[in-house]
Structure 1
Amino acid sequence: MNILVVDIGGTHIKFRTQKHRVPVKFDSGPKMTPKMMMAQLLEATSDWDYERVSLGFPAPVIHNRILHEPYNLGSGWVKFDFEQAFSGKPTRIVNDAALQALGSYRKGRMLFLGLGTGLGSAMVADGIVQPMELAHLPWKKGRTYEDYLGAAGLKRHGKKKWTKNVVEVTDSLRQALEADSIVLGGGNAPLVDPLPKGATLGANENAFKGGFLLWKSDKGFS
């Protein structure tokens, strides 16, 4: 069974199957709609042979259904029929942070934070993935966690102050959620130096691993 995994981000759309060692990508951004994405994706994969699809999406997803429009992309995602767009191929949609968390998990209680255009979050406890929406909770001065830890916060505060905020938030969440370990993923995670206590760097490749695992069993998600 060959699976196409699509990691949908606010800056790039990345995708590959088990048969591809290196993901292919194209730009996304605040004007990207699902129709625009599918047009580019289907063109890029026109000669690919795959039977099933996993989508990691940057917004809340429950039971294969996107709950609201993403903050960092265009509109039209909530009611879009991806399975029909993929010519009836079975398609599973999960939150993008949860997908990478599934691929990053080893044991115990693991907190995943995705530091990219926005802020992704998920918890894995004893192999069960729980998608979380911490990004838009208020933190300081009327701003949210994402305002400080997302790409806009990095640009606004600079790397040194941004790193301090990442460490502070990560330490606080680790204690509050009683996490045994923390994985920092996303495109900006390698900029965090020093790493927070108990944290390790994830890899974007883990999103694809999670997408392949998604078809192994339904037991990985709560």
Structure 2
Amino acid sequence: MSTSRKKAQSKILVIDVGGSHVKCLLSGERTRRKFKSGPALTPQQMVDGVLEIVADWRFDVVSIGYPGVVNQGTPAREPHHLAPGWIGFDFETAFGRPVRIVNDAAMQALGSYRGGKMLFLGLGTGLGSALIVEGKIVAMELGHLRRSKRHDYEDLLGKRGYKRLGRKKWRRKVRAVVEGFSAALLPDEIVIGGGQADRLKKLPSHSRLGNNAAAFLGGFRLWDDTPNTYTDLS
């Protein structure tokens, strides 16, 4: 049997690490599993929690959507909303399987991608972002650009911003920021995802609503080694 054929039959476990929950899905399964995360979650606790809730699933490889900067397949900065210790952590040894790691927004972007140049913005605990150009991912950290002396875009559009501004003002801010990013980056389309996206009454122009399930599709696609399908340029 060819190597590509073996990869096609591999069972892929996708892990989406978020600021409030860690969610998992196995290729071939329909129901995802999850447990609570939070500011005290360490990488070892994440691994232990995952292995506990997927104990009856057999998997060959692992995809991880990481809520922070990823460089050459490994965390390059500690996450803002979790405990430290992620940089240098040996995920392959912890899981006992080959592991591919990508920024969480980039993983959802990959699962949402249809072609051309697409900007993904994830409205969640913070603000995730990624740009895909002809199948290649450029992971970005637009959320940490300064919007003002007191706030960056993550403070403005994430959960803290929603609570501070209120629904109507937050919606106006989202529209203005999305239009600004669109004018600067000139995407063919914009996908707005994340847990906060459902709070939008009307989407900005040239945008469509993402589906959080796309993160799992992106995790499956990480193991598609077709040329030009995935490149981590973060």
TM-score clears 0.5: yes
The DSSP-based 3-state class of the residue aligned with 2:114 is coil
Report the RMSD for the aligned CA atoms in angstroms: 1.0
Match of 2:201 in 1: 193
Match of 2:16 in 1: 7
Structure 2 residue 156 is the aligned partner of structure 1 residue 148: yes
User: Runs of 5+ in structure 1 lacking a partner?
Assistant: none
TM-score, normalised to structure 2, is 0.92
> Which AA in structure 2 matches 1:59?
G
Residue 77 (structure 2) aligned to one of 53, 56, 68? 68
> Which AA in structure 2 matches 1:163?
R
> Which AA in structure 2 matches 1:26?
F
> Which AA in structure 2 matches 1:210?
G
The DSSP-based 3-state class of the residue aligned with 1:160 is helix
Show CA shifts across 1:83-109 (max 9, x none): 00002x110000000000000011211
Match of 2:35 in 1: 26
> Which AA in structure 1 matches 2:35?
F
The DSSP-based 3-state class of the residue aligned with 1:102 is helix
Structure 2 residue 52 is the aligned partner of structure 1 residue 43: yes
* C-alpha distance in structure 1 between counterparts of 2:147 and 2:80, whole Å: 18
Q: Work out whether residues 25 and 216 of structure 2, in 8 Å CA contact, stay in contact via their aligned partners in 1.
A: yes
Cα displacement (A) at 1:184 = 0.4
* C-alpha distance in structure 1 between counterparts of 2:156 and 2:149, whole Å: 11
Residue 68 (structure 2) aligned to one of 39, 59, 83? 59
> Which AA in structure 2 matches 1:84?
T
Equivalent residues in 2 for 1:50-199, closer than 5 Å: 50-87=59-96, 89-199=97-207
Cα displacement (A) at 1:141 = 4.1
Show CA shifts across 1:191-218 (max 9, x none): 1111111111000110000000100026
* C-alpha distance in structure 1 between counterparts of 2:149 and 2:49, whole Å: 40
* C-alpha distance in structure 1 between counterparts of 2:31 and 2:173, whole Å: 32
Match of 1:212 in 2: 220
Cα displacement (A) at 1:142 = 2.9
Q: Work out whether residues 34 and 53 of structure 2, in 8 Å CA contact, stay in contact via their aligned partners in 1.
A: no
The DSSP-based 3-state class of the residue aligned with 2:82 is coil
Q: After TM superposition, which residue ranges in structure 1, 4 or more long, deviate above 2 angstroms?
A: none
Show CA shifts across 1:102-156 (max 9, x none): 0001121110000000110000111111100111110124310001001110011
Cα displacement (A) at 1:65 = 1.2
